[in-house]
């Protein structure tokens, strides 16, 4: 239902924008859009897991920024050994997610407060590590493989992310863990009384989110060839947008990854189109906020029928 | 006789353990910083310190009432920002009355929007207000073309920043006035009582005949209006209206931190105006001291984040030890 | 002779075609404690809700002090001096006593300021009048249930009170608190207040009530003066019709002791102490007792939902350790919880998802879950349990209560449990579904050699299906009876405090 509506909206947006600006449907532009989608989609997938299990992760942007800096530093220290650096960065992201999970499940802090705190914590650490500067990363093989390279006309990062999407979708729909995520999000009490380890499920969701954010960070570094501490600021808002747009319920237990994918596509195309029309960053942000509220309102109205 | 005094003191101590801890922390921090850096205990510094924190104090007091009622308002930051822009634009007409009227009206409007999002559209208040925050900041930048707009109205500055009332700098005067008004409102009126009731158990409050939705509406509007006032104070102090992201940065987080330190819990039903007041003082001293110790903003951010985690954790432990169920 | 205060004549009320009250009369005198008794579904709640204005009668008249009145809502009732104390208390837990009492009726000074001093003073005065010795500054959540109840009653006295209705007031009270409550009730009598007291507990009724009215299946069975009646006569009047279709049959129980609980104690909600239970294979052991006996708490402690203070669990002669429902499920236990809507089912998802909730563990092979297996087993159980639904993807929340409960049962049976615990499994279910479920339980015990722990406050059900009956009162086991030594009278006798 939701996905049908999104496809229609998408079609409308594409048609409208292509009429207004003929450059919209050029391959150059589409490649751009697709590459930009990769980062948002990666974050969105992890965020969806957390939201489906009934929690929220506001620190996604900070984990992303942290991982770009960690990766850049690691590259410098290991003499551009990409593989090792990727592994290190993913581990850092994993631990960041783990901390989130522990604060929520073991320490008992509401995920909104806990991840708002780690948002500041991780961002602060990021800036402090490199004293506010930026670290360039110059390693063409890496940048090509994970950033600017193309397979035909499809950017490589997009392919990786689609692979991740497919795998995670299967995990969510077909694995024991994935099915349990839905139940925990549907009703934590029922899940617990049914013998599901709810704390563990939530913990793993946060872990996935953290790791995926780290991967998204690596993708960005590959494209911009720099580790910048301010990267990812505000991404948590975007994550909420695409996930809710894609049909996930804020209370948990409802939503799909293909829906998130569609949400990412719609938002990315919309932003791209608006940018081409000359809208600046702030106007786009305003449109995003209003669109989110509108979609939630619509969603509530439909559900109440 | 002595015994009775001691017993009474102990009762007060037990009840006000949080406020006392905060007061003690304040004193300790002040002492530590005085020794560690020569710039701290200087009259000018202290005066600056107090003036600067007034804005945060005002916003945090509003957030306290918000949390007590069981909701959160992340959009206070956005209200402060857009109020500064409104001031910058309307002051061209050189009428303080006009400026204040427009700003307050907009504040009321945002409060109503928050209420509708939370109650009618049923978005959890933290997400609805977060979306509003983004919209407000974006709107401010669109209106100002992402460039700060200077305010030149001297009347405005005198009334809200540089002036004095009984030799007290006006921001401090207003801050204190608002503190007293809100203290009375929360602790000595039926409204305040109902706010805690609704936050504690909306179901039971409704059964007792309290119009819970009206209370929530009032709380949302009140918080926004208070934030508007903070925006006026800030605009008067820095003499610009801007949507820049470094303006009122992280005020949402800071106000929640102060409110939680002062005794609020995310589930609602608890909170203390006095506690928030002390918390803001502690945070201001911490901020100021750390700055003089050459901590960067980001390093302070780490400290504050850890502080939030510790405070919430300590609060949970305290509640558990009293045998009460934790309301998150 | 005391004067009549309230007179209700020929009150009829139906809900969705089911008769809750079939022309009931009720007379309340001034300054008396009048008990209203009857089994679940007898119509007691409906009658008092009508008095309290929460419901309106379909027909019949109400007279207050000989004047005909219409009570259209709870505000009308309050104006007439009628207040009801519900089972779920309605105090604000984080506020203090005095604030709670005056909530909504605060005395003011200077128009809008709260007269705090007056609030605490008036509370103290009220407490003096009612002989309550609580500190008005105490936070309500720090009070015991009994004390909270006192506060609620005091709150009722703020308005001019002539009729106080109490619904199962002692269900969560300790022995001492109960004594205090009874003293208080006698005090209120002296203050001229009439009390309508609803309860299951016959011993209390005979202790405290001046007169007793018995309802059965929506019919008025008579009003009796306390001195003129005894427990046996009351039990006789209370007995309802036999449950259709199920009668006890002597069954073959295996000799081996299969599941044993030793000295179980816990302190979550109602404290339970020294619970000892033995279940043999194929045996259906019943736990019964009145509301508040601690029956559900036993189930929750065994299943690992509540932490145990003390106790061992032995299965097949080996001690097993259960600290969470996960452990319980691993050892083959199953719990059909008391509150199916909040503890047993996710209402906004499909029947399939609900039934396979626990079965997921068995469906998981290597990487993926076997969805086909899940679907086929679900279909099997839909048929076996006779769950009426168009398809397995139907949203569970749209099913009837009986069908919902069957889904919960299916959710557990699908896993081939070895011990099945059911907590009030037939509550809120129509008669037909009830019979089906009970037959099913017996069938499962026979065929799969399940051990069953059947918790219910419906004594007839327990008699119809259980091989051994455990009676609980106040968190302890008071009697264990094999089925062939039990009758309804004997059970009621022991369950209400007989020795």
CB contact under 8 A, B135 and A132: no
Which residues on A lie below 8 Å from C325 (Cβ)? 192-196
Of the candidates A174, A194, A197, which has its C-beta nearest C358's C-beta?
Answer: A194
Which residues on C lie below 8 Å from A187 (Cβ)? 342, 346
Tell whether the model's pLDDT for residue C240 goes beyond 60. no
State residue A4's pLDDT score: 74
In a domain, B5, yes or no: no
State residue B166's pLDDT score: 86
DSSP A271-291: HHHHHHTT--HHHHHHHHHHH
Task: Tell me how far the alpha carbon of residue B226 is from its chain's centroid.
Answer: 9
* Averages of pLDDT over each 10 residues, chain A, 305 residues: 75 80 76 86 96 95 95 89 92 97 94 94 92 82 80 85 95 94 95 95 97 95 88 88 88 90 89 83 88 82 72
Of the candidates A182, A193, A253, which has its C-beta nearest C343's C-beta?
Answer: A193
State residue B220's pLDDT score: 97
User: What's the whole-number mean pLDDT along residues C224-228?
Assistant: 88
* Beta carbons within 10 angstroms of residue B48's beta carbon: 12
User: For B111-137, what is each residue's pLDDT tens digit?
Assistant: 999 999 998 888 889 889 999 999 999
Residue B257 vs residue C473, higher pLDDT: B257
Please state, in angstroms and rounded to a whole number, the distance separating the CA atoms of residues C349 and C354. 7
Please state, in angstroms and rounded to a whole number, the distance separating the CA atoms of residues C445 and C254. 11
User: For C430-471, what is each residue's pLDDT tens digit?
Assistant: 767 788 888 888 888 888 878 999 998 777 788 888 989 999
State residue B325's pLDDT score: 53
Which residues on C lie below 8 Å from A180 (Cβ)? 360
CB contact under 8 A, C93 and B269: yes
The pair phi, psi for residue B199, each rounded to 5°, is -70, -35
Question: CB-based burial of residue A4 (10 Å sphere; 0-12 exposed, 13-18 middle, 19+ buried)?
Answer: exposed
Chains interfacing with C (3 or more CB pairs < 8 Å): A, B
Q: How does residue C241 score in pLDDT terms, banded at 50, 70 and 90?
A: very low
* Number of domains, chain B: 1
User: What's the whole-number mean pLDDT along residues B147-172?
Assistant: 86
| C246 three-state secondary structure | coil
Please state, in angstroms and rounded to a whole number, the distance separating the CA atoms of residues A220 and A66. 12
- Domain of B124, CATH number, reads 1.10.3470
User: What's the whole-number mean pLDDT along residues B308-320?
Assistant: 88
Q: How does residue C1 score in pLDDT terms, banded at 50, 70 and 90?
A: low
Which of C357, C430, C445, C346 has the alpha carbon at shortest distance from C396?
C346
Measure in Å the smallest separation between the Cα of A281 and chain B Cα atoms: 8
Chain C interface mutation, best of A167, A184, A190, A192, highest count of C Cβ atoms under 10 Å: A190
Rg, Å, chain A Cα set: 19
User: What's the whole-number mean pLDDT along residues C165-181?
Assistant: 80
Residue with structure tokens 């605009």?
B235
CB contact under 8 A, B200 and C90: no
State residue C496's pLDDT score: 65
Q: How does residue C269 score in pLDDT terms, banded at 50, 70 and 90?
A: confident
Of the candidates A56, A113, A296, which has its C-beta nearest B312's C-beta?
Answer: A113
CB contact under 8 A, B328 and A119: no
Q: Maximum distance among all alpha carbons in chain C?
A: 81
State residue B206's pLDDT score: 83
A198-224 and A27-52 are packed helices; what angle lies between their axes, rounded to 10 degrees? Answer: 160
User: What's the whole-number mean pLDDT along residues B140-145?
Assistant: 91
- Domain of A26, CATH number, reads 1.10.3470
Q: Are C28 and C202 in contact (CB under 8 A)?
A: no
Task: Tell me how far the alpha carbon of residue C29 is from its chain's centroid.
Answer: 29
Measure in Å the smallest separation between the Cα of A168 and chain C Cα atoms: 12
| C222 three-state secondary structure | strand
Q: Which of residues 105-124 of C touch B (CB under 8 A)?
A: 106, 108, 112-114, 116
In a domain, B11, yes or no: no
Beta-carbon contacts of A102 under 8 Å, excluding residues fewer than 6 positions away, are: A203
User: For C56-81, what is each residue's pLDDT tens digit?
Assistant: 899 999 999 888 999 888 888 888 99
Length of chain C: 499
CB contact under 8 A, C357 and A196: yes
Tell whether the model's pLDDT for residue B278 goes beyond 70. yes
Q: How does residue B169 score in pLDDT terms, banded at 50, 70 and 90?
A: confident
Phi-psi region of C411 (alpha: psi -120 to 50; beta: other; left: phi over 0): alpha
Please state, in angstroms and rounded to a whole number, the distance separating the CA atoms of residues C335 and C191. 48
Q: How open is the CA angle C417-C418-C420, to the nearest 5 degrees?
A: 75
Of the candidates B189, B200, B209, which has its C-beta nearest C92's C-beta?
Answer: B200
Can you read off the two tokens belonging to residue A39? Answer: 């980062």
- Per mean pLDDT, which of B135-144, C107-116, C173-182 is the most reliable? B135-144
* Beta carbons within 10 angstroms of residue B134's beta carbon: 25
Beta-carbon contacts of C327 under 8 Å, excluding residues fewer than 6 positions away, are: C304, C320, C321
User: CB contacts < 8 Å between A and C, how many?
Assistant: 68
The pair phi, psi for residue C311, each rounded to 5°, is 130, 155
Q: Where do runs of H (alpha helix) occur along C134-262?
A: 145-156, 175-190, 202-208, 231-238
CB contact under 8 A, A182 and C353: yes
Measure in Å the smallest separation between the Cα of B27 and chain A Cα atoms: 25
- Cα separation values, C419 from A86, A190, C258, C378, C416, Å: 50, 19, 9, 21, 9
In a domain, B36, yes or no: yes
Please state, in angstroms and rounded to a whole number, the distance separating the CA atoms of residues A283 and A279. 6
- Residue A110 pairs with which residues in a beta bridge? none
CA closest to A116 among chain B residues: B253
Q: Which structural domain range is residue B252 located in?
A: 28-322
Q: Which structural domain range is residue A87 located in?
A: 2-304
Rg, Å, chain C Cα set: 25
Of the candidates A180, A186, A197, which has its C-beta nearest C346's C-beta?
Answer: A186
CB contact under 8 A, C411 and A194: yes
Q: Is B189 within 8 Å of chain C by CB?
A: yes
CA closest to B315 among chain A residues: A109
Q: Are C94 and B204 in contact (CB under 8 A)?
A: no
Please state, in angstroms and rounded to a whole number, the distance separating the CA atoms of residues B119 and B113. 10
In a domain, B139, yes or no: yes
Q: How does residue C97 score in pLDDT terms, banded at 50, 70 and 90?
A: very high
Which of C280, C176, C248 has the alpha carbon at shortest distance from C465?
C248
Tell whether the model's pLDDT for residue C425 goes beyond 80. yes
B43-68 and B76-90 are packed helices; what angle lies between their axes, rounded to 10 degrees? Answer: 120
Tell whether the model's pLDDT for residue B328 goes beyond 50. no
User: What's the whole-number mean pLDDT along residues C352-372?
Assistant: 90
Q: Are C98 and C91 in contact (CB under 8 A)?
A: no
CA closest to C344 among chain A residues: A190
Which residues on C lie below 8 Å from A182 (Cβ)? 349, 353
Of the candidates A174, A191, A196, which has its C-beta nearest C368's C-beta?
Answer: A174
Can you read off the two tokens belonging to residue B119? Answer: 């109650």
Q: Which of A39-43, C22-26, C228-232, C311-315 has the lowest mean pLDDT?
A: C228-232
What ipTM does the predicted assembly reach? 0.88
Torsion sign across C-alpha atoms C102, C104, C107, C109: positive
Q: Are C215 and C44 in contact (CB under 8 A)?
A: yes
In a domain, B110, yes or no: yes
In a domain, B16, yes or no: no
Please state, in angstroms and rounded to a whole number, the distance separating the CA atoms of residues C221 and C270. 33
CB contact under 8 A, B131 and A289: yes
Residue C497 vs residue B168, higher pLDDT: B168
Which of A263, A289, A294, A231 has the alpha carbon at shortest distance from B141?
A289
- Residue C365 pairs with which residues in a beta bridge? C368
Q: Is C416 within 8 Å of chain B by CB?
A: no
- The mean of the pLDDT values for chain C is 86
User: What's the whole-number mean pLDDT along residues B173-182?
Assistant: 94
* Number of domains, chain A: 1
Q: Is C93 within 8 Å of chain B by CB?
A: yes
Can you read off the two tokens belonging to residue C194? Answer: 């009439």
Chain B interface mutation, best of A69, A120, A130, A229, highest count of B Cβ atoms under 10 Å: A120
In a domain, B14, yes or no: no
The pair phi, psi for residue B236, each rounded to 5°, is -65, -30
State residue A1's pLDDT score: 65
Q: How open is the CA angle B65-B66-B71, to the nearest 5 degrees?
A: 145
DSSP state of B326: P
CA closest to C366 among chain A residues: A175
Q: Is C103 within 8 Å of chain B by CB?
A: yes
Please state, in angstroms and rounded to a whole number, the distance separating the CA atoms of residues B50 and B42. 12
State residue C423's pLDDT score: 93
Beta-carbon contacts of B57 under 8 Å, excluding residues fewer than 6 positions away, are: B175, B178, B179, B277, B280
State residue C242's pLDDT score: 46
Determine what percent of chain C is predicted with pLDDT higher than 70. Answer: 94
Q: Are C447 and C479 in contact (CB under 8 A)?
A: no
Q: How does residue B146 score in pLDDT terms, banded at 50, 70 and 90?
A: confident
Can you read off the two tokens belonging to residue A302? Answer: 């439909």
User: What's the whole-number mean pLDDT along residues B91-106?
Assistant: 92
CB contact under 8 A, C369 and A176: yes
User: What's the whole-number mean pLDDT along residues C10-34?
Assistant: 87
Residue B32 vs residue A95, higher pLDDT: A95
Q: Are B260 and B62 in contact (CB under 8 A)?
A: no
- Residue C277 pairs with which residues in a beta bridge? C261
State residue C244's pLDDT score: 47
| B147 three-state secondary structure | coil
């Amino acid at each position: 239902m939701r996905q049908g509506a999104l496809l229609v909206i998408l079609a409308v947006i594409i048609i409208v924008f292509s009429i207004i600006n003929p450059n919209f449907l050029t391959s150059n532009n589409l490649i751009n859009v697709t590459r930009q989608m990769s980062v948002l989609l990666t974050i969105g997938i992890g965020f969806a897991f957390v939201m489906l299990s009934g929690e929220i992760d506001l620190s996604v942007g900070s984990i992303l920024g942290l991982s770009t800096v960690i990766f850049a530093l690691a590259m410098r220290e290991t003499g551009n050994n990409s593989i090792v650096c990727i592994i290190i960065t993913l581990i850092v992201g994993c631990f960041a997610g783990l901390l989130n999970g522990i604060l929520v499940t073991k320490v008992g802090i509401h995920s909104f407060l806990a991840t708002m705190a780690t948002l500041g914590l991780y961002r602060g650490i990021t800036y402090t590590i490199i004293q506010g500067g930026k670290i360039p990363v110059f390693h063409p093989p890496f940048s090509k493989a994970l950033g600017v390279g193309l397979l035909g006309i499809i950017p490589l990062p997009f392919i990786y992310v689609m692979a991740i999407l497919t795998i995670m979708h299967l995990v969510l729909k077909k694995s024991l863990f994935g099915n349990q995520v839905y139940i925990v999000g549907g009703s934590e009490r029922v899940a617990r009384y049914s013998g599901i380890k709810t704390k563990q499920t939530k913990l793993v969701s946060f872990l996935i989110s953290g790791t995926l954010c780290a991967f998204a960070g690596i993708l960005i570094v590959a494209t911009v060839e720099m580790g910048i501490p301010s990267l990812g600021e505000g991404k948590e808002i975007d994550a909420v947008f695409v996930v809710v747009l894609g049909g996930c319920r804020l209370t948990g237990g409802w939503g799909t990854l293909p829906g998130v994918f569609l949400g990412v596509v719609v938002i990315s195309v919309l932003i791209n189109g608006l940018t081409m029309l000359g809208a600046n960053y702030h106007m786009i942000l305003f449109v995003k906020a209003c669109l989110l509220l509108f979609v939630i309102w619509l969603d509530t109205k439909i559900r109440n029928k | 006789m002595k015994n009775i005094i001691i017993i009474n003191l102990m009762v007060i101590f037990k009840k006000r353990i949080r406020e006392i801890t905060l007061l003690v922390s304040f004193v300790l921090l002040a002492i530590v910083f005085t020794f560690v850096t020569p710039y701290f205990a200087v009259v000018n510094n202290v005066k600056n310190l107090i003036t600067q924190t007034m804005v945060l104090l005002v916003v945090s007091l509003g957030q306290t009432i918000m949390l007590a009622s069981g909701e959160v308002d992340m959009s206070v930051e956005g209200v402060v920002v857009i109020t500064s822009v409104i001031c910058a634009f309307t002051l061209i007409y050189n009428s303080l009355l006009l400026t204040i009227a427009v700003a307050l009206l907009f504040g009321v409007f945002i409060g109503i929007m928050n209420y509708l999002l939370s109650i009618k559209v049923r978005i959890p208040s933290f997400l609805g207000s977060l979306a509003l925050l983004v919209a407000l900041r974006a709107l401010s930048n669109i209106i100002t073309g992402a460039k700060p707009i200077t305010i030149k109205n001297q009347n405005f500055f005198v009334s809200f920043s540089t002036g004095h009332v009984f030799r007290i700098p006006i921001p401090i005067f207003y801050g204190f006035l608002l503190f007293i008004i809100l203290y009375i409102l929360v602790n000595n009126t039926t409204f305040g009582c109902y706010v805690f009731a609704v936050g504690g158990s909306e179901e039971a409050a409704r059964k007792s005949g309290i119009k819970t939705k009206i209370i929530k509406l009032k709380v949302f509007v009140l918080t926004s209006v208070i934030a508007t006032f903070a925006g006026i104070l800030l605009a008067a102090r820095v003499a610009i209206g801007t949507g820049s992201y470094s303006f009122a940065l992280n005020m949402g987080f800071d106000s929640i931190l102060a409110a939680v330190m002062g005794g609020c819990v995310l589930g609602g039903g608890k909170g203390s105006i006095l506690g928030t007041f002390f918390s803001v003082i502690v945070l201001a001293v911490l901020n100021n001291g750390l700055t003089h110790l050459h901590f960067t903003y980001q390093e302070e951010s780490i400290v504050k984040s850890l502080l939030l985690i510790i405070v919430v954790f300590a609060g949970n432990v305290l509640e558990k030890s009293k045998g009460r169920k934790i309301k998150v | 002779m005391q004067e009549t205060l309230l007179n209700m004549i020929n009150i009829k009320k139906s809900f969705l075609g089911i008769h809750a009250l079939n022309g009931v009369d009720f007379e309340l005198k001034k300054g008396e404690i009048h008990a209203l008794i009857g089994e679940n579904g007898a119509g007691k709640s409906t009658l008092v809700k009508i008095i309290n204005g929460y419901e309106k009668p379909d027909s019949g008249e109400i007279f207050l002090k000989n004047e005909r009145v219409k009570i259209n809502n709870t505000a009308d009732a309050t104006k007439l001096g009628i207040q009801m104390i519900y089972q779920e208390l309605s105090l604000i837990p984080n506020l203090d006593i005095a604030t709670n009492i005056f909530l909504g009726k605060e005395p003011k000074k200077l128009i809008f300021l709260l007269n705090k001093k007056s609030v605490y003073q008036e509370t103290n005065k009220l407490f003096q009048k009612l002989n309550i010795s609580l500190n008005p500054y105490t936070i309500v959540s720090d009070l015991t249930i009994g004390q909270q109840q006192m506060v609620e009653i005091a709150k009722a006295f703020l308005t001019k009170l002539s009729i106080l209705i109490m619904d199962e007031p002692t269900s969560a009270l300790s022995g001492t608190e109960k004594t205090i409550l009874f003293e208080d009730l006698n005090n209120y009598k002296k203050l001229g207040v009439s009390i309508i007291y609803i309860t299951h507990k016959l011993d209390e009724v005979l202790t405290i009530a001046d007169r007793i009215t018995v309802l059965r299946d929506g019919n008025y069975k008579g009003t009796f003066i306390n001195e003129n009646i005894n427990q046996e006569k009351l039990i006789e009047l209370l007995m309802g019709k036999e449950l259709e279709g199920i009668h006890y049959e002597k069954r073959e129980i295996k000799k081996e002791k299969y599941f044993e609980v030793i000295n179980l104690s816990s302190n979550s909600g109602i404290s339970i102490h020294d619970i000892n239970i033995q279940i043999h294979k194929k045996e259906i052991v019943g736990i019964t007792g009145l509301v508040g006996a601690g029956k559900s708490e036993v189930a929750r402690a065994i299943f690992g939902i509540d932490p145990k203070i003390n106790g061992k669990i032995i299965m097949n002669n080996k001690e097993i350790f259960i600290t969470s429902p996960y452990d319980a499920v691993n050892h083959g236990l199953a719990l059909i919880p008391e509150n199916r809507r909040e503890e047993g089912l996710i209402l906004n998802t499909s029947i399939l998802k609900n039934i396979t909730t626990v079965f997921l563990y068995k469906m998981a092979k290597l990487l993926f879950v076997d969805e086909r297996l899940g679907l086929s087993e679900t279909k099997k159980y839909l048929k076996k349990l006779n769950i009426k639904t168009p398809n397995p993807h139907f949203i569970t929340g749209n099913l009837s209560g009986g069908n919902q409960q069957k889904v919960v049962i299916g959710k557990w049976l699908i896993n081939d449990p070895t011990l099945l615990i059911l907590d009030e499994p037939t509550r809120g279910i129509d008669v037909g579904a009830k019979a089906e479920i009970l037959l099913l339980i017996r069938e499962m015990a026979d065929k799969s050699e399940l051990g069953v722990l059947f918790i219910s406050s419906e004594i007839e059900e327990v008699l119809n299906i259980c091989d051994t009956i455990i009676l609980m009162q106040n968190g302890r086991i008071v009697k264990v009876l094999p089925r062939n030594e039990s009758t309804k009278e004997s059970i009621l006798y022991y369950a209400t405090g007989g020795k």
